Amino acid sequence: MARYALVRTGGDPADRLAQISHLPNGWEAALSTWDATGTTDPATRPQLARLLHTIRAGDLNGITPSRTDISSFPDIYEDTLRTIHACGGFLALVRDETEL
């Protein structure tokens, strides 16, 4: 499991990562990372790409963001979910779904 946050350009990831510091019982985070690209297309975010690569390699099984960390646009969000699933992983929504 990885903690992932999207941060406003120039923003501090500490607050966003703190919001996902408490994972459900039994879950452990192997790493925490963020992209400070603002609301760009998920396909252009380097740290999200790194997590997808790690899932494909079998070293990670899921990502814990909020929906907004992926995209507020339903079609982009759904495409990203499909990509994560195709890599063999899952998305666990663990915080407020509309805050960025």
For position 75, what pLDDT does the model report? Answer: 94
- CATH H-level, domain 2-91: superfamily: Resolvase, N-terminal catalytic domain (3.40.50.1390)
pTM: 0.85
State mean pLDDT over 73-98: 86
**Which residues 6+ apart lie within 8 Å of 45 measured at CB?**
6, 35, 37
**Maximum distance among all alpha carbons in the chain?**
33
pLDDT of residue 24: 67
Asked if the model's pLDDT at residue 100 lies above 60, the reply is: no
For the stretch 6-29, pLDDT in tens is: 988 888 888 888 877 777 667 778
Q: Output the pLDDT for position 28.
A: 79
